[in-house]
Structure 1
């Protein structure tokens, strides 16, 4: 698999504060990666370092297998790490024309990218008339003008209304489906779960997890149970190795599964052992629950 970006033991200190702490991970071609963590976890600093706008303290990173200099590699990167900054009195088309001149890109790309971000009908509208969501989509069009191999987005849905959030997330999925690798920083678990295939979880500059999103949430789930005899149910669950942690809140018992088992099998097992259930729901742990478990002690 082709490597787009390799980060190795990267550290960044601001005085006594360590913003990025010995961070290592790899971005491979053709996936959507999320750097997930609360504000202050080092997401933006990490992106700033690999985009050459923040100097590292130690460690290293390399683009495209280290075959090109960072300066040349960044010509194949599209990035939005700050709020969209265009000329308010110029149209969408005029603003993108300026970007084409800076990047050395043919003007024919403008309409193609405006159509991709669903702004072609507003190509001749002034930037100041755009909503925040439209401004963000125009910024994405701008970052895509040079057909980059990777698109980097820092908190792409920050401040947007629900419709704007949905449009940006759908756009990211569309861009990825066309073969562009995407790396986005977000503090929103929901965003990473819906959009990303891979995630790097950061807390206070340290990596807590790196891998596929579906593997992070690949636990066997848990059961919510109620029975006519709560004590008998609890005692039985504690003797069966298929069940891990057992939580009791009043008459509701939550039993985490250590092995795969469907609700029908659970119901049959308990019935055969003289336990009549009055409530049975099987649930899957969310990314949020996994994230909280990871960050509890950090």
Structure 2
């Protein structure tokens, strides 16, 4: 697989504080990567290092084939790591023309990128009239002007209302569907679960996990169950090695699976044992539950 960014044993210290500690991971072409962690986990510092705005203490990183200088590589990168910085008295189109001049990009790209972020009909409106969500979408259009191979976004939905969050997430999916690799930092588990294929989980600058989102923990999910024969059902589940942890709360039994099992097979098994279920739902553990398991074990 073609590599876009390789990070090896990266460390960054600010005096006595270690913001990033011995971090290694690889980003391959065509995927959407999330760097996930609470505030202060080293996400923004890591992005700052690979974008040449923060000096590393030790370790290495390389772009693309490893032979391209960072300066040259960054010409193929689009990034938003701070709040959008446009002239408020100028229109969206005028602001993007300035960016085109700086990047050496044809003005013809402007309408194409505004179309992607849903702002083409607002291109002649002044930046100061834009909502926060529109400003963020314009920043994405600006970062796309040079047709980057990778788009880097630091907390892209911070401060937005639910509609704004949804619009940004849909735009990210659309950009990824066109083949652009995306790396986004977020403290929102929901964001990573909805838009990312891969995730790097950080806590206090250290990597807890790196890999596919759907393989973050090899979970078989769980059943939510209700029945009139609660005691019988609990005994049966406790004696069956297919099930692990059980939780009982106000008549709702949550049974975690140790191995794959579908709801219809389980329902049939219960019926054969004389237990009629009034409620049966199979669920997958959310990224949040998996994340808590990861951080609890460290």
TM-score between both structures, scaled by the size of structure 1: 0.95
- Tell me the residue number matched to 1:230: 230
Tell me by how many angstroms 1:232 deviates: 2.6
* 2:254 corresponds to 1:248: no
Mapped partners of 1:116, 1:277: distance in 2: 49
Please show how residues 35-114 of structure 1 align to structure 2 within 5 Å: 35-114=35-114
Mapping 1:249-264, distance limit 5 Å:
249=249, 251-264=251-264
* Structure 1 counterpart of 2:208: 208
Displacement of 1:180 in angstroms is 0.7
SS at match of 2:134: helix
Paired residue secondary structure (1:84): coil
Deviates further, 188-197 or 220-229:
220-229
Q: Deviations over 1:137-180 (max 9, x none)?
A: 11111111111100000000111111111111111111111111
- Equivalents in 1 of 2:242, 2:292: separation in Å? 24
How many aligned residue pairs are there?
298
Matched position secondary structure for 1:65: coil
State the distance in 2 between where 1:11 and 1:213 align: 25
Alpha carbons 1:6, 1:65 under 8 Å: kept: no
Provide the secondary structure at the position in 1 that maps to 2:68.
Answer: coil
TM-score (ref. length: structure 2): 0.95
**Would the aligned equivalents of 1:5 and 1:62 in 2 still touch at CA under 8 Å?**
yes
Map Cα deviations across residues 243-272 of structure 1 (whole Å, 9 max, x no partner).
112223354322111111122221222232
Query: In 1, Cα distance between the equivalents of 2:273 and 2:39?
Result: 50
Deviations 1:217-259 (A, max 9, x none): 6521111223333333222212211111222335432211111
Say which SS state the counterpart of residue 66 (structure 1) adopts: coil
- List runs of 5+ in structure 1 lacking aligned partners: none
Question: Structure 2: any 5+ residue segments left out of the alignment?
Answer: none
Task: Give the Cα separation in 2 of the matches to 1:243 and 1:38.
Answer: 32
Where do 1:129-208 residues align within 5 Å? 129-208=129-208
